[in-house]
Structure 1
Amino acid sequence: MMLRALALLAVVIALPGAGRAQDDTVQAATRAAEQLDRAITLLDAAEEAPDRVAALTETTRAFESGLAAMREGLRQVSAREAVLSRDLQAREGEIARLLGTLQVMGGAGSPVVFLHPAGPVGTARSAMIVADVSRGLDERAASLRAKLDEVRVLRELQESAAARLSEGLRGVQQARTDLSKAVAERTDLPRKFTEDPIKTALLIASTETLSAFASGLTDIGDDERAVDLPTVRDRKGDIPLPVLGRVLRGFKEADAAGITRPGMVLATRPRAIVTSPTAATIRYRGPLLNLGNVMILEPEPGILFVFAGLDVVYGGSGDILPAGAPVGLMGGRDPDLGAVLSVADASEDSGSGRSETLYVEVRQDNVPEDPAAWFRGMKD
């Protein structure tokens, strides 16, 4: 009976644990914090930058990237901490059973105390098993200590994240405010044409579709001049997305109401910055049809990038923008710190926190094309 109990104990100790500490989780959260630190440094430097619009655009994007990375890092930390906590709770019952078995076997005595009725051979065999059990207990105790240490580190990260996230939220709000002011004060942009507001109003009133409006865009400007911008046709498939987000609906994919559009919809976070993916001319900016605020960019004759659903739009029709220039902000409100932390606990796949949508359409010779064929990382 004694040998059977010892054998069962050895089997229990040999069961696999939760594995080694996942250093990648801690490193991901640490890198996210470093991204926010970099954004804060950029914000301080933007005040003295020769091109404040470009500097503040980079700063705003850096804050958005850092906050997104921090959310993802916290999500991983929370998930890892939950796994470890469940594992440790399960081990509590296992440890209790192990201690109970040891007490039945005679407490904390040395192996020679465990005499076996079969004589010296049986006693020797039981002593060897007990020695194995002792080594197994030491290994299990070391494993548990490592897990407890990891839980402590993860919880410290979660506690310190609140202050870092709060600072990041204040920073991105300040960067957006400074950016809006810098854009309003900008006077150095070249112009391709001067918009005729009467012609624009007539075009809007007389069209019912984006296609019809796009076909008349060249008629709303005066004094249009030729501009030699870098071609984008040879960059097809390698153009950066205008906003940090994920695809919610693809080209001509039906929405919940069964409506299809010849573009894609990106889910973004509130107040996300939208930038010009290439050097381009603003052909139109403002409200249009049922699309909300619209920005129509012309990187070269015959090609249009249409962005719809913005809350704030920057610049004016006829302005020539460099690649990466800000064209507007998404709507919504920045979440408070508690909401950000709760989003970090949710699955990223659920789209939690991405409450705004940007509609993106690419038109070549006024024919819609699949934006996934134009923007980087959209095709496998």
Structure 2
Amino acid sequence: MRLWRAAGLAFGLCAALSAQAQDTSPAALAEAALAQFEDAHTKLEAAQAATDRVKALTGVIYAYESGLEAMRAGLRQAALREAEIERAFEDESGQVATLIGVLINLRPDASPAALVHPTGPIGQARAGMLVSSITPAMQAQAEELRTQLQEVSILRELQSEALQVLEAGLKDVQTARTDLSQAMSQRTDLPQRFAANPERMLDLINGSDTLESFASSLAVMDVVDGLSTLPDLDSAKGTWPLPVQGRLLRGYEESDAAGIKRPGWLLAARPLSLVVTPWPATIRYQGAFLDYGNVIILEPGNDVLLVLAGLEEVYGDIGSVIPAGTAVGLMAGAAPDLEAFVTNAELGTGAGLTETLYIEVREGGKPVDPTQWFTQ
């Protein structure tokens, strides 16, 4: 019920903001967020009985993350619009006071005293004509002010309704993350390309002092193929979606503040963001490695490895073949409370991107620019 009531407010605000672009107005963004939250909640309820709970819960988290992004944008635009109107009121406060005073005194008066004018009846007539000529303009300005005040009222009511939906959404997405972790730990239906050799893997880890050397050694380590095969990669270049919703911090071989260059991308992401594989792949390694946090190395095709480092939690077993869009882990961090979420949203959509995911693509054991593979 709250969703539809807030949606009604969004439609009302759309009418008040008809001069603004439909896709960027606070109402349009809030409407999109509400629709995505409604979709996510429906998926969460259905996931409890889904045959493939992992796939269902992955879709739920994606839907909530999309809804949260839309909600951030909506709250940000609402705050900006309200501040814009308030600044306009402050800048024109003198004119507004004068306008209100004139409007209050604009009333018919045919008393004898009203006909007295320092310059006589002609002066009185001229003054009346002058007031009559500016009355339509003042009435138009008064109507504009009334509309803006109404807009502020609607914005605040919309924000209040959005916060109620948001509070429930933040709880639901955390429930979905917990359920996904449990479902991944219980999953036994994935095909196996090869059986992991823990002792050999441990020797490989102990013999590697960098992520690059570990990935290079892993690339040449032979595996015994089973029945499962991977899709051909010939047409995959330039089509992969990003494995996490985020923003590029540093590109391929771009120096950081210390002047260190890395042969991969560094993405900024929000806490607890879902990380998925962009292409069907074999899990070649997953677990902690040096100071990179948890690392998962995927093999989407022969002689091609995708390295994802910096996760808090990783899913799947070494040797398993996973389809595209499968969750492989979660970013670190703590779920924001309602107050922190709203504060970050009003500061800007970039606020809250506190976690980093390192992405590296290797061909034939050597790193290549991820731009060759990803669409973004």
1:319 maps onto 2:331 in alignment: no
How far is the alpha carbon of 1:95 from its aligned partner? 2.0
Tell me the CA shift for residue 291 of structure 1. 1.6
The equivalent residue for 2:13 is: none
TM-fit CA distance, 1:101 = 6.7
Structure 2 residues not aligned, in runs of 5+: 1-16
The secondary structure found in structure 2 opposite 1:162 is: helix
* Structure 2 residue 350 is the aligned partner of structure 1 residue 370: no
Tell me the SS of whatever aligns to 1:289: coil
2:119 corresponds in structure 1 to: 117
RMSD: 2.3
* C-alpha displacement of 1:224: 3.0
Per the normalisation by structure 2, the TM-score is 0.87
Matched residue, 1:301:
302
AA partner of residue 267 (structure 2): L
CA distance 1:129–1:324, change in 2 (3 Å): same
Matched, 1:271 2:272: yes
Q: 1:134 to 1:20 in 2, by over 3 A?
A: farther
Query: How far apart, CA to CA, are the structure 1 residues paired with 2:366 and 2:335?
Result: 36
Structure 1 pair 328/113, CA: closer, same or farther in 2 (3 Å)? farther
Matches within 5 A, 1:1-380: 22=20, 24-98=25-99, 108-109=107-108, 113=115, 117=119, 120=122, 125-217=126-218, 223-225=224-226, 227-348=228-349, 351-376=350-375, 378=376
The CA deviation at 1:243 is 0.6
The alpha carbon displacement at 1:258 in A equals: 1.7
Task: Tell me how far 1:20 sits from its aligned partner.
Answer: 6.6
Larger CA deviation: 90-99 vs 284-293: 90-99
Once the 2 structures are TM-superposed, how far is the Cα of residue 212 of structure 1 from its aligned partner? 2.4
Alpha-carbon distance in structure 2 between the residues aligned to 1:127 and 1:331: 72
1:91 deviates by 3.5
What SS does the corresponding residue of 2:279 show, helix, strand or coil? Answer: coil
The answer to whether the 8 A contact 2:264-2:358 is kept is yes
Q: How far did 1:38 drift?
A: 1.1
SS of the residue 2:357 aligns to:
strand
- Write the distance in 2 (CA, Å) between the matches of 1:301 and 1:294: 20
What SS class does the counterpart of residue 153 from structure 1 fall into?
Answer: helix
Which whole-Å deviations, capped at 9, do the CAs of 1:102-139 have from their partners, x for residues lacking one? 89xx864569958583874x666544432221111111
In 1, are the aligned partners of 2:251 and 2:266 still within 8 Å (CA)?
A: yes
Quickly say closer, same or farther: Cα 1:307–1:113, change in 2 above 3 A.
farther
Distance 1:215 1:132 in 2: 83
* AA aligned opposite 1:164: V
Alpha-carbon distance in 2 for matches of 1:42, 1:283: 31
For 1:29 and 1:107, locate their aligned partners in 2 and report how far apart those are by CA, in whole Å. 41
The separation in 1 between residues aligned to 2:36 and 2:116, in whole angstroms, is: 60
SS of residue in 1 equivalent to 2:143: helix
Distance across 2 between alignment mates of 1:194 and 1:218: 16
Given the two structures, how large is their TM-score scaled by the length of structure 1? Answer: 0.86
* One-letter amino acid of the structure 2 residue matched with residue 229 of structure 1: L
Aligned 8 A contact 2:219 2:303 in 1: no
Deviates more, 1:138-147 or 1:157-166: 157-166
CA deviations 1:303-329 (Å, max 9, x no partner) are 111100001000111000001001000
Cα contact 2:293–2:309 (8 A) shared by 1: yes
Structure 2 letter corresponding to 1:140: Q
Deviation track 1:221-268 (CA, whole Å, cap 9, x = no partner) reads 764336432123412112111011111111111112221100011111
Which amino acid is the alignment partner of residue 200 of structure 2?
A: K
Q: For residue 340 of structure 1, what is the amino acid of its counterpart?
A: F
Q: Is the 8 A contact 2:85 2:148 kept in 1?
A: yes
Identity %: 45
Kindly provide the amino acid, as one letter, of the partner of residue 119 in structure 2: P
Contiguous gaps of at least 5 residues in structure 1: 1-18
Shift of 1:181: 1.1
Residue type matched to 1:359 in 2? Y
Task: Classify the secondary structure of the residue corresponding to 1:129.
Answer: helix
The Cα offsets for residues 7-30 of structure 1, whole Å up to 9 and x where unpaired, read as xxxxxxxxxxxx976462212112
Contact 1:116 1:126 in 2 (8 A): no
Does the CA-based 8 Å contact 2:191-2:228 persist in structure 1? no
Partner of 2:12: none
Q: How far apart are 1:207 and its partner, in Å? A: 1.6
Deviations 1:253-300 (A, max 9, x none): 111222110001111111111001111000111112332211111110
CA distance in 2, matches of 1:54, 1:159: 33
List per-residue Cα deviations over 1:131-185 (Å, max 9, x = no partner): 2211111111110111011101100111112211110110100101111111111
